Structure 1
Amino acid sequence: MKNFLIGGVPEHFNLPWYIALRDKKFHEKGINLRWKDFAGGTGQMCRALREKEIDMAVILTEGMVRDIIKGNESKIVQVFVKSPLLWGIHVAANSDYESVSDLKGTEAAISRYGSGSHLMAFVNAENHDWNLKNDLNFKVIKDLDGALEGLPKGNGDYFMWEKFMTKPHVDNGTFRLVGMSPTPWPSFVIAVRNDVLENDTKSIKAILGVINAVTENFKTLPNIDEVIAKRYGQKIEDVREWLSLTEWSDRQLTSKELENIQQKLLDLDLIESKIQKDNILQNF
């Protein structure tokens, strides 16, 4: 039995992994895959890959591309969720902010520098023609729990996080949703450390085969909407809307998608230069 440790956010996108682990689908392939939750998101997982704390990660596309360009010795092996991530722009319910335009020049609460909440704040600012140097300020709050505690106290002014995972906190009156900012590319990819890829390509292929078989039929699993609603504290109607908008994948990023991501990161001064796709993508 070969051991692998994979990291990901504890969110509904990753429920297929829990199902495959519960049903011992990886064991059937001679693989002991263990899952580690990273509530801190992309920046935390990038560091874990760099420090060889984990072998693989299910991670936001733009964050992984950026960190590989900045020296993370990992590669993207495939897209996991091909639909865009719907980033909600949230403020404390007790704040005076009523629209995204009110947030110009205020502090974006982010989980970490290099995280999705950090990078998407730049994308959102560009979408609203803000000055990226003068109109963006940041406050590190570590994760969703940090934002829930901090924003009502004025520790950060707005917080960008996946709309549906954050909606219960809008419903209970902690946050208000003032805008949306979908990613202009596939939302999640699977990344693997280069040394792991070099040493055991066969096992990585087997892991991908297992998870892709689960995601292919995920939406048709009996009562899956009820399972998600109960597990993640969601309203059933929100889960059904989320399922209708979410598409998993078993393909690799296309050259055009990768070019679009790199160009956007370059335009936003989040990388200094683009690199060859073979240094970012692993094709089997």
Structure 2
Amino acid sequence: MKTIKVGGVPEHFNLPWHLCIEEKLFEARGINVIWKDFPGGTGAMNKALRAGEIDAAVILTEGILKDIISGNESKIIQTYIGSPLVWGIHVAAASKYKSVEELKNTKAAISRKGSGSHLMAYVNAQNHTWNTEELEFEIVKDLDGAVEALKNDKAQYFMWEHFTTKPLVDNHTFRRLADCPTPWPCFVIAARNESLKNEPDRLKTMLEILNRETQRFKNLPKIAEKLSENYDQRLEDIEKWLNITHWSQEQITENEVEKVQDKLLELNLISKKQRSSEFIHNL
């Protein structure tokens, strides 16, 4: 049985993958899908794709596009979440800062360079007409690192997915000042070029199985309760999240790729654009 190693964040978005694995849906079609959690997010997954530690990743759209331009030999094979990602802008609960505007010229905690928390700090800065060249960052690796950095004032704010950080807001570790949604579909599935060359049929079968699961996912009995329990979330928060989240079974469009590249170029996060077709591989 052929193994495909897939990486993703340990968050509620990815429960459909775990259900497919638990129910042996991949196995029934001759594929051994091994899931690896990446608490460090997109930057860590890009590194793993480059190193061949994983074959595919469920990864932030802007993060994989930027890294492909920088030499990551991977392609997008499908959009996974078609709705925007809602990034909460957080400070320590006891922080003196009461608004996002007050965070100008302070330091942002980020998981690593090239991560979503890094790139979205630029989007947020632009939204508030700050000079993006003056942004300062503290690399914290993951959510636990961000908690420590904000508590010890090594950084003053941290951007992470709204609902993932909600328990930390509820228990007064963080205080959320505002939200900053991505201006594009947030998660895509990317695969290494080598895996696309060697295992196109298995990757295509893997997507077919996953897409059947995501199409029915919201209608599964007690799915909100399962998500709440698995990811330590309040049921009311999970229900809100389910209402605004849309799983996609389609390939990303060239127009969407163009839009993300335009924003990255505008923010000086890339030095050039590439043809949108160069980021996409249709299985």
**Pairwise CA RMSD of aligned residues?**
0.6
Match of 2:102 in 1: 102
C-alpha deviation, 1:148, in angstroms? 1.3
Match of 2:75 in 1: 75
* CA–CA separation in structure 2 for the residues paired with 1:190 and 1:14: 11
C-alpha deviation, 1:152, in angstroms? 1.2
In the alignment, structure 1 residue 244 sits paired with structure 2 residue 248: no
Match of 1:11 in 2: 11
Aligned AA (1:153): N
Match of 2:216 in 1: 217
In structure 2, the residue corresponding to 1:217 is in which secondary structure?
A: helix
In structure 2, the residue corresponding to 1:215 is in which secondary structure?
A: helix
C-alpha deviation, 1:241, in angstroms? 0.2
For the 8 Å contact 2:254–2:277, the answer to whether it is kept is no
C-alpha deviation, 1:278, in angstroms? 2.5
C-alpha deviation, 1:255, in angstroms? 1.4
In the alignment, structure 1 residue 143 sits paired with structure 2 residue 113: no
Match of 2:118 in 1: 118
In structure 2, the residue corresponding to 1:133 is in which secondary structure?
A: helix
In the alignment, structure 1 residue 199 sits paired with structure 2 residue 198: yes
In structure 1, the residue corresponding to 2:160 is in which secondary structure?
A: strand
Aligned AA (2:192): R
Moved over 6 A (4+): none
Aligned AA (2:8): G
For the 8 Å contact 2:7–2:36, the answer to whether it is kept is yes
Aligned AA (2:160): W
Superposed, 1:25-104 pairs within 5 Å as 25-104=25-104
CA deviation digits over 1:200-255, x for unaligned, max 9? 11001000001000000000111011111111111100000000000000111111
For the 8 Å contact 2:91–2:176, the answer to whether it is kept is yes
In structure 2, the residue corresponding to 1:129 is in which secondary structure?
A: coil
Aligned AA (2:281): Q
* CA–CA separation in structure 2 for the residues paired with 1:282 and 1:18: 25
Match of 2:127 in 1: 127
In the alignment, structure 1 residue 185 sits paired with structure 2 residue 210: no
* CA–CA separation in structure 2 for the residues paired with 1:148 and 1:138: 15
* CA–CA separation in structure 2 for the residues paired with 1:141 and 1:195: 31
Identity of aligned residues (%): 55
**TM-score when scaled to structure 1?**
0.99
Superposed, 1:233-272 pairs within 5 Å as 233-272=232-271
Mark the runs of 5 or more structure 1 residues left unpaired by the alignment: none
**TM-score when scaled to structure 2?**
0.99
Aligned AA (1:24): K
